[in-house]
Chains A and B, each alone.
Chain A
Amino acid sequence: MSAPAMGTSKTAHSDSSNKKKKGPGTLATAYLVIYNVVMTAGWLVIAVGLVRAYLARGSYHGLYYSIEKPLKFFQTGALLEILHCAVGIVPSSVVLTGFQVMSRVFLTWAVTHSVREVQSEDSVLLFVVAWTVTEIIRYSFYTFSLLNHLPYLIKWARYTFFIVLYPMGVAGELLTIYAALPYVQKTGLYSITLPNKYNFSFDYHTFLILVMVSYIPLFPQLYFHMMRQRKKVLGHVEEYSKVE
């Protein structure tokens, strides 16, 4: 459940206006600004890469290969965000952030990277585009928030684009996992059978099906949470002259 990785950190970076919390120290703030700027830049690189590849080839097909490396690099880099929560410089739940980032990393490495045959699927493009747009908005949102100068447009975008991007990303992810199933079953990828000396077995094919099923309870919850956040954050906008 990772399509737009938005809003799980619901109090992150002072986006809910009336929180008088003590933020991270100056050093931590400087680090976080650099981190978020780098991530924004990284996902912009991916966005530009996608556009250029599309213009060069003239088709949507197989664009994954043109941005494979930066995608892996920057998506995996997001693991640092778990550390940020654990250390306390970001006021989000470690568990929630961990879950969000791990599911992205899972899709990037354990599905798309590991099952070569799905890399040319159009569903991959679907979630890559969703993630790219989401992350560009999210990381710039955090950057501006940390600098205490958040343009309303960015705030609006963060709490509005997800309405389309989230389902789009989920669709892409589910279709990709589904496409991977036959290959996983055929090759026994990441699976362990009995007998063995650890008396343990694991069927990756079944596991992937369970992952797909888990979207059913999880996706609506996350989606409606974002909807509620949207009402809370954007709903009272006419009461404020300045955004903060």
Chain B
Amino acid sequence: MKHYEVEILDAKTKDKLCFLDKVGNIFTFIFTLYPQWYPARQSIRLDPKGKSLKDEDVLQHLPVGTTATFYFRDLGAQISWVTVFLTEYAGPLLIYLMFYFRVPFIYAPKYDFTTSKHWVVHLACMCHSFHYVKRLLETLFVHRFSHGTMPLRNIFKNCTYYWGFAAWMAYYINHPLYTPPIYGEQQIRLALIVFLFCQIGNFSIHIALRNLRPPGSKTRKIPYPTKNPFTWIFLLVSCPNYTYELGSWLGFTLMTQCLPVAAFTLVGFIQMTVWAKGKHRSYLKEFRDYPTLRSPILPFIL
């Protein structure tokens, strides 16, 4: 059995300067040679077009012969996932509230700092704010991220999306000329039930996924239904967090009867479907015994 370790000793004193047995050590080594390339933005692979090696990959286990050639790629400036999530979620929370409180220069001056006369508008504000507070707290305390970082340009793209849509929706819902839902209280009540149900569902899934993974680890396991009924949807769907998210926004659309909200729901649904299909595919690839009844995002349909 091959045995690879690289030791770099000081020639004079024979002190051990550097010891490489994991890919992560190579990242550190390159970083000392090229300080502009911190480890998070390094990608090392065995094939120029191949998959990146991971931090914890052991050199000894790599499929190489007596000499190993690694290919390096700079992934560009990186930013942590937590930072991106916090920024992209804090925006909508604050922006929506600005419209809700009718801060000056948005609507006609006579409406500055007034509040809507429709109670559904107050309810919508509470729901929207609750949703983003929940997301922020989950980012801080619930989610266990596989990757530490993502490319820096993503934060601009993501924030434009979230903040832009939040402003667009909030403008109409909090507008002095807002028209409440046609079917009134019945429609709003149903919408609220759907919204809350899906918020709880989404949270349950996040907790279930967190519990699959011990703290600090990056293991991947097949998620299964737990004692919590909201997780029983795992029987039919690979990514029920997205399913519940769609449900929440459908609820919010029904509650506000606002076309921009419907548009936001649609765009979000399309994106989440793309993600769900990708996730579903990787589950199938990684696990031989992956349950065949499951669909990516919508039971039996999609």
> Which residues on A are within 8 Å of B, measured CB to CB?
194-201
Contact = CB atoms under 8 A, between A and B. Distances in A.
A199 B182 contact: no
Interface stretch (B212-220, B252-260, B281-289): B252-260
Contacts of B179: 195-197, 199
A194 B258 contact: no
Contact of B260 (A194, A195, A197, A200): A200
Chain B at the A interface: SS class: loop
Given A200-B172, A201-B172, A195 B178 contact: yes
A197 B262 CA distance: 13
A180 to B, nearest CB: 25
Contacts of B178: 194-195, 199
Contacts of A194: 172, 175, 177-178
B287 to A, nearest CB: 31
Nearest to B260: A200
B173 interface: yes
20 contacts: A194-B172, A194-B175, A194-B177, A195-B177, A195-B179, A196-B179, A197-B179, A197-B182, A198-B257, A198-B258, A199-B172, A199-B173, A199-B175, A199-B257, A199-B258, A199-B259, A199-B260, A200-B172, A200-B259, A201-B172
Interface of B: 172-173, 175, 177-179, 182, 256-260
Contacts of B258: 198-200
Contacts of A200: 172, 258-260
A198 B177 CA distance: 11
Nearest to A200: B259
Given A195-B178, A200-B260, 19 more contacts: A194-B172, A194-B175, A194-B177, A195-B177, A196-B179, A197-B182, A197-B257, A198-B258, A198-B259, A199-B172, A199-B175, A199-B178, A199-B179, A199-B256, A199-B257, A199-B258, A199-B260, A200-B259, A201-B172
Contacts of B259: 198-200
Nearest to B172: A199
Nearest to B256: A199
Contacts of A199: 172-173, 175, 178-179, 256-260
Nearest to B181: A197
A9 B192 CA distance: 48
A201 B173 CA distance: 12
A31 to B, nearest CB: 30
A195 to B, nearest CB: 4
A200 B258 CA distance: 7
Contacts of B260: 199-200
Nearest to B173: A199
A234 B190 CA distance: 65
A198 B256 CA distance: 9
Contacts of A201: 172
Nearest to A195: B177
A195 B118 CA distance: 14
A84 to B, nearest CB: 23
Contacts of A198: 257-259
Contacts of B177: 194-195
B162 to A, nearest CB: 20
A196 B172 CA distance: 11
B107 to A, nearest CB: 11
Contacts of B175: 194, 199
Contacts of B172: 194, 199-201
Closest 5 CB pairs of A and B: A200-B259, A195-B177, A194-B177, A199-B258, A198-B259
Nearest to B263: A200
B52 to A, nearest CB: 26
B109 to A, nearest CB: 17
Contacts of B173: 199
Q: Which of B175, B258, B259 has the most CB of A within 10 A?
A: B259
Nearest to B175: A194
A71 B155 CA distance: 43
A6 to B, nearest CB: 29
A197 B258 CA distance: 8
A199 B173 CA distance: 7
B242 to A, nearest CB: 24
Nearest to A198: B259
A199 B259 CA distance: 6
B127 to A, nearest CB: 16
A199 B118 CA distance: 14
Q: Which of A197, A198, A199, A201 has the most CB of B within 10 A?
A: A199
A50 B256 CA distance: 53
A19 to B, nearest CB: 18
A201 B178 CA distance: 11
A195 B257 CA distance: 13
B278 to A, nearest CB: 19
B237 to A, nearest CB: 28
B161 to A, nearest CB: 17
